[in-house]
Structure 1
């Protein structure tokens, strides 16, 4: 059902927005003040519950310089209450004006937000450049049935944030934005307006939102999807074990042992110097686990939906064509368990200084090879079925027999002494695969339609060994898109092949408006539109399959 906020007019956010944005901070400040001045406040307001305080100590309060002591010593209770009341009225007025001047508008082309009392700010996100829509439910806001909505833009610090909305409005607005971004039109608001008698009262609506917020803490927030086989759920035991056997945890244990040995030998400064670091790492370790709990990934009509978080739940919907690179990684400590992780490069719309920008680059915290294949199929729907065995089995695990990847020549084994047999690439009609690493197995997948450019580099050592390095240029992110120590002639052929294939894929790509040919969404859900058929245009002509020369090469 279409939201009333998507009618092209200016609307205000939820009335409780000022409380959640600034009021909670004031509550924390008041709590700190009360905890530090407990005895004096008891003596001031509830004297019969206050502990026995000698009269001479009360007389000494006047000279301490503390405002509370001065008020008690001079009996200025009424004046203090008037000042506190004035400050509260001023803060309430500021909160009210900030809410009054904070408005949003959703048109057929843009999402706009205006804010500010003295200094006005207007931010606009074009819908045809939307990179995703994130729905965040902080724990306190979930209790009140509220959520934050963030429209991810294409530029740095270009996101449009709508915080806060009721959870129902946030979900409906998210669906409307994604439908408009796909190229579809929304039905008229009048067609969706129900009879006034059928609407619940405000009290009943508030009760429903609070009830949903409480049950969401236990049962989860997002509804089930139509294709349950495509959903990947991570068991809690696997998630905890993956953090325990991670390199960071082993480093933490080593640091604790070193500190204990140093303190036993009388080096006490080690304890004072490393305790804050240990506490910080422990908090990060705990936060990373809770943030990955209730993880799920599933297909929706408007893209890939990723949900994670226990206390604060984040749901992001990544539309088709917004993923610029994918990397499948397996640390050596995870190899006995067969676990992998997936990270992606995408435009997050956040500034470099934003500490939360990295949480939107992990598509699968930890999973089995079957989980990896499911996630990759969701993120790369245009890849033909015949290519998946090569991507999953040859890309993730180097086969013992025939290998279709072009690997480092034997003469250059000294550059990659441990991984030269695994280090290689493969170009298909849709993606460029870069495989590398022995201790940390990694497979980078670069969709050709998203590839910005390709470069070949050769240093003096490379020239002597007749090898080169190739790099695919995409948007910034954690995925490493460079491959070293490949044959010079193969790298030049790869350069030409990728250049032609990239132009062909980009010219046939229509994922920025993935449902532009569909009709308006009148009352039902948007039909599932597969972009695989659309991107078949990009495969009008074949790309040479660069297979290795099976003849053995002897070192020079």
Structure 2
């Protein structure tokens, strides 16, 4: 609920274009809803300087309050100060101004300071503009030092909307276009919430293959077009479908609901909580034995962990995940609400994990590797890696079906029955051979891989179960390594290379012959999957037929030269 009605962002007054021919940068009107997506330069919300410069105002207010502390306390609670003050306030600026008869000068100085701050905020807002064209999202900012950032639409990895508490009260939101490189994001902070939602939908629509349908519709209405009347009707229907995307603007119903009790319980049963309790117990024992100062030294660490622990819970509250025509929409956060839309074809790896502390409750978590467009020092990157903080097996299945919609129905048992809960009696995974189980003493039967036509699955861990799924169309490369002990045992280590993230692509101690075989078959699978992949264009290109590639690897058989125990 906003206490102030949202403002309409005002367009920038630009000079008339020169008569020289220039390309039209406006995006197709059939693909846009917001008046801000017209290819022209616009300014941000008028209250943007208040939120972006709010920290400066807080610091100034803190300095003023600190200097007037005694006077403020005496004004609100008379007699609370020591009698020795006798109404005198040492180092009090107000007392100094009154005694020296500087009231007029002080008021003029305050007015000048306020006017200067307002002028700086206004100039900063005036020179901060953005535009959305048919190819890019661009932002220009700066007065003395100008910057111009551009996010190509064909490189968009997602669009996030962040609403801090103060911004939510004012009906505002920050929109962030996620790029494909480090520190490549383009931020529009701030827009009114309705405008942010409409602009987000426009960007995703323009970044998809929807423009192809629009181009065909334009061609159908152009004199001399070679498209037949029937084709015009079909493309017109496609355009109508595209036009209806994301309307009305509302939060779609989540397919998963996380009870607060489960969320708190998952944090209580986390490894960090157990480790902290053990550390506290050790320090208490140590302080009793003879070093009491250790107990006081632990207090800052406990306070810091408590804040981290509470923040982890509040961040996962109001969690929702739902499908939309533009991708998977994930919302989380109690005080600062973050909504991210992950388009199809932007996931490079998915991992389902379960610690032994969660096993009895049947809880799992899901993390992903995706391009966040943030630098390596940005601490907010991790919050976009977790797409399911904690959920049941049914929740995991719902989320995985949203994240991996192209996985055939007959392959889902490989994920759940064999991958998450396995190994079973008819285990299809290639596991660590018996001769090398000393290096995987507890998990040698779970430590293995499976290559399917769509993905490479890596399963490992007994105390901490994990199943990593790497879509072949997004796999960067595959590597094999072997040390001297590995060569003596006839085993190798498999590495599935993807973008950096929480999901690890390493799997050690597998049979050497089997590793060489999966190396060759994964190479062929990646070529085939990439050639037929259309997920990066998730609208308008469904009528294109992918090339036919010879795929003898699709029926997996264990390598002929692999030892029999490689399958055990």
2:54 is aligned to 23
1:390, distance to aligned residue in structure 2 (A): 1.0
Q: Give the Cα–Cα distance (whole angstroms) in 2 for the partners of residues 60 and 355 of structure 1.
A: 44
1:400 aligns with 2:418: no
Aligned length: 501
Q: Give the Cα–Cα distance (whole angstroms) in 2 for the partners of residues 240 and 54 of structure 1.
A: 50
Give the 3 Å change call, closer, same or farther, for CA 552–448 of structure 1 in structure 2.
closer
Contact 1:5 1:105 in 2 (8 A): yes
Q: Give the Cα–Cα distance (whole angstroms) in 1 for the partners of residues 279 and 80 of structure 2.
A: 46
The SS at the match of 2:36 is helix
Superposition RMSD on alpha carbons, in Å? 2.8
Q: Describe the superposition over 1:44-93 as per-residue Cα deviations: whole angstroms up to 9, x where unpaired.
A: xx7997878879867784xx5x7556435534333222222211111110
The SS at the match of 2:439 is coil
Q: Give the Cα–Cα distance (whole angstroms) in 1 for the partners of residues 476 and 352 of structure 2.
A: 21
1:552, distance to aligned residue in structure 2 (A): 5.8
Contact 2:531 2:546 in 1 (8 A): no
Give the 3 Å change call, closer, same or farther, for CA 88–535 of structure 1 in structure 2.
farther
1:411 aligns with 2:435: yes
Contact 1:406 1:546 in 2 (8 A): no
Q: Give the Cα–Cα distance (whole angstroms) in 2 for the partners of residues 538 and 339 of structure 1.
A: 41
Q: Give the Cα–Cα distance (whole angstroms) in 1 for the partners of residues 115 and 73 of structure 2.
A: 24
Contact 2:514 2:558 in 1 (8 A): no
1:257, distance to aligned residue in structure 2 (A): 2.0
1:263 is aligned to 287
Instruction: Select the residue among 106, 115, 120 that pairs with 1:80.
Output: 106
1:252, distance to aligned residue in structure 2 (A): 1.6
2:399 is aligned to 375
Structural mapping, 1:111-510, within 5 Å: 111-185=137-211, 223-225=250-252, 231-510=255-534
Q: Describe the superposition over 1:166-200 as per-residue Cα deviations: whole angstroms up to 9, x where unpaired.
A: 11000000000000000324989xxxxxxxxxxxx
1:503, distance to aligned residue in structure 2 (A): 1.1
In the alignment, structure 1 segments of 5+ residues that lack a partner are 189-220, 518-528
1:311, distance to aligned residue in structure 2 (A): 1.3
1:543 is aligned to 553
1:11 is aligned to 42
Deviates more, 1:126-135 or 1:272-281: 272-281
Q: Give the Cα–Cα distance (whole angstroms) in 2 for the partners of residues 505 and 553 of structure 1.
A: 30
1:140, distance to aligned residue in structure 2 (A): 1.0
1:469, distance to aligned residue in structure 2 (A): 0.4
The SS at the match of 1:479 is coil
1:534, distance to aligned residue in structure 2 (A): 7.5
TM-score (norm 2): 0.82
1:512 aligns with 2:512: no
Give the 3 Å change call, closer, same or farther, for CA 403–121 of structure 1 in structure 2.
same
2:116 is aligned to 90
Q: Give the Cα–Cα distance (whole angstroms) in 2 for the partners of residues 69 and 174 of structure 1.
A: 54
Q: Describe the superposition over 1:302-330 as per-residue Cα deviations: whole angstroms up to 9, x where unpaired.
A: 11111111111111001111000011110
1:511, distance to aligned residue in structure 2 (A): 2.2
1:272, distance to aligned residue in structure 2 (A): 3.0
Give the 3 Å change call, closer, same or farther, for CA 59–373 of structure 1 in structure 2.
closer
Q: Give the Cα–Cα distance (whole angstroms) in 2 for the partners of residues 237 and 54 of structure 1.
A: 52
The SS at the match of 1:413 is helix
1:197 is aligned to none
Give the 3 Å change call, closer, same or farther, for CA 534–295 of structure 1 in structure 2.
farther
Contact 1:343 1:361 in 2 (8 A): yes
Contact 1:407 1:548 in 2 (8 A): no
Q: Give the Cα–Cα distance (whole angstroms) in 1 for the partners of residues 349 and 548 of structure 2.
A: 18
Q: Describe the superposition over 1:315-356 as per-residue Cα deviations: whole angstroms up to 9, x where unpaired.
A: 100111100001111011001111110100000000111111
TM-score (norm 1): 0.84
Give the 3 Å change call, closer, same or farther, for CA 75–397 of structure 1 in structure 2.
same
Contact 1:344 1:361 in 2 (8 A): yes
Q: Give the Cα–Cα distance (whole angstroms) in 1 for the partners of residues 507 and 53 of structure 2.
A: 48
Contact 1:263 1:270 in 2 (8 A): yes
1:222, distance to aligned residue in structure 2 (A): 7.8
The SS at the match of 1:111 is strand
Give the 3 Å change call, closer, same or farther, for CA 11–60 of structure 1 in structure 2.
closer
Q: Give the Cα–Cα distance (whole angstroms) in 2 for the partners of residues 436 and 82 of structure 1.
A: 71
The SS at the match of 2:446 is coil
1:548, distance to aligned residue in structure 2 (A): 5.2
Give the 3 Å change call, closer, same or farther, for CA 237–548 of structure 1 in structure 2.
farther
1:545, distance to aligned residue in structure 2 (A): 4.1
The SS at the match of 1:434 is strand
Give the 3 Å change call, closer, same or farther, for CA 540–339 of structure 1 in structure 2.
farther
The SS at the match of 1:84 is helix
Q: Give the Cα–Cα distance (whole angstroms) in 1 for the partners of residues 545 and 415 of structure 2.
A: 19
In the alignment, structure 2 segments of 5+ residues that lack a partner are 1-31, 216-247
Contact 1:101 1:117 in 2 (8 A): yes
2:220 is aligned to none
Contact 1:147 1:166 in 2 (8 A): yes
